[in-house]
Amino acid sequence: MAVIDRVTVTVFTTVIRSVVDGHGHRHPGPPREVKEALLEVTDADGATGRCLGQPETLRESMIKAHVRPVLTGQEGLDRERLWHALARRQRGAHGHLTDRLLSTVDQALWDLAGRKLGLPVWRLLGGARSVIPAYASTMCGDDIPGGLASFSDYADFAKELVARGYRGIKLHTWMPPMPHGVDLDIKACAVVRDAVGPDVALMLDSNHWYSRTDALRLGRALDELGFAWYEEPMEEASVQSYRWLADQLATPILGPETSWGKHMARAEWVAAGACDILRVGVVGSGGLIPALKAVHTAESFGMGCEIHGNGSGALAVIGATLCGEWYERGLLHPHSDYDTPPPHLRSIVDPIDESGNVALPMRPGLGDDLDVDHIAAHTVATW
């Protein structure tokens, strides 16, 4: 037991090989330098918990006004109490104290606990399983030659992913600003099913602003093609639209993914009958603490809960619970190399084996293999 006596953010440069378009969709790109940030929480014993984040998420004003006042002088192992104390401050922070910041702080505290106790966080939280099948989550469609520019590109890439060991593939099809629509989605799903055969699990994450009738037409095609789930065809704020859709389809509806409202929004979706499989992310929904509450809600209602996104936080929840079948590995693209770590990591946290499985990390804490020498040598700001 030791109180927290230091909270620091280090902004550093690293290199990535992707670009994000004006609609927030990631595509492969040439190597480019970007800024990332590392949150560190250190206690009176000298133990440190760490979590990577974005500099704009970990803004100096928010660390000064909210994170330091909540954490400093408090017992570092009191994750639940500290999460609630920080979450309560969101009401008066006018949107500036985000769920992403809450998540980064929460993950750093779990990393601290795991390091102090010498346990991986997934085992500290429950220890349900040490291996999980991964599905390949593709990038969106594009106009890159040999990329994901045509139906045959999707089919060829799906066959390549199956050859690498994946037993599940989730398609992100064409979205704005690319030409897009239900007819293109249906054709892409059909050619991929044809390419991989009936035994590979296929999922679709389609355009997020379809009308009810377009979403239903696409869902009926997925019923014919035997898809494992159907994700975010419509604006998630309209819970009644999802109930309307779920009532008419055999394919399980998965959600909500981007909806605001942490575990409480997930409980509302379950109560409304708006999904067949629940969805929660660690980064977007406020951390491990709300994600676990959502998973346990799903389990209590006999539903699965699939964790959104990749990374050590997602793996911690997956390893701690049995309520979900997959780990989302991606985003993947014929021209991108997921398996080579960026320069600020010595290794990736989620290597895949030839059977398509990812082993949970055994390192104490969250399991990220940070290259602290790179970070120190490329630091551009601290607060």
Residue 24 or 145: which CB sits closer to Mg ion?
A: 24
From the list 78-86, 106-114, 200-208, 295-303, the region that binds Mg ion by CB under 5 A is 200-208
Residue 208 C-beta: closest distance to Mg ion, Å: 8
Residue 281 C-beta: closest distance to Mg ion, Å: 9
Residue 232 C-beta: closest distance to Mg ion, Å: 5
Size of the site for Mg ion (CB under 5 A): 2
Residue 269 C-beta: closest distance to Mg ion, Å: 15
Are 288 and 125 in contact by the 8 Å Cβ rule? The answer is: yes
From the list 20-28, 202-210, 316-324, 340-348, the region that binds Mg ion by CB under 5 A is 202-210
Would you count residue 106 as binding Mg ion (CB under 5 A)?
no
Residue 231 C-beta: closest distance to Mg ion, Å: 5
From the list 7-15, 18-26, 252-260, 326-334, the region that binds Mg ion by CB under 5 A is 252-260
Residue 62 or 136: which CB sits closer to Mg ion?
A: 136
Q: ∠183-188-192 over CA atoms, to 5°? A: 150
Would you count residue 328 as binding Mg ion (CB under 5 A)?
no
Both tokens of 292, joined, read 């676990």
The candidate with the shortest Cα–Cα distance to 272, out of 291, 253, 250, is 253
From the list 47-55, 216-224, 254-262, 364-372, the region that binds Mg ion by CB under 5 A is 254-262
Both tokens of 260, joined, read 């605001």
Q: Choose, by CB under 5 A, the member of 36, 43, 153, 257 that binds Mg ion.
A: 257
Residue 205 C-beta: closest distance to Mg ion, Å: 4
Are 317 and 284 in contact by the 8 Å Cβ rule? The answer is: no
Would you count residue 214 as binding Mg ion (CB under 5 A)?
no
Residue 76 or 233: which CB sits closer to Mg ion?
A: 233
Would you count residue 99 as binding Mg ion (CB under 5 A)?
no
| Residue 174 CA: distances (Å) to CA of 83, 148, 168, 216, 383 | 38, 9, 20, 18, 40
Residue nearest to Mg ion (CB): 205
Would you count residue 236 as binding Mg ion (CB under 5 A)?
no
Residue 329 C-beta: closest distance to Mg ion, Å: 13
Q: How far apart are CA 68 and CA 70, in angstroms?
A: 5
Residue 362 C-beta: closest distance to Mg ion, Å: 29
For 257: left if phi > 0, alpha if psi spans -120 to 50, otherwise beta; the answer is: alpha
Residue 260 or 355: which CB sits closer to Mg ion?
A: 260
Residue 106 or 205: which CB sits closer to Mg ion?
A: 205
The candidate with the shortest Cα–Cα distance to 47, out of 114, 96, 104, 100, is 114
Would you count residue 306 as binding Mg ion (CB under 5 A)?
no
Q: Choose, by CB under 5 A, the member of 36, 99, 106, 205 that binds Mg ion.
A: 205
Residue 106 or 257: which CB sits closer to Mg ion?
A: 257
Residues at the site binding Mg ion, with contacts judged by CB under 5 A? 205, 257
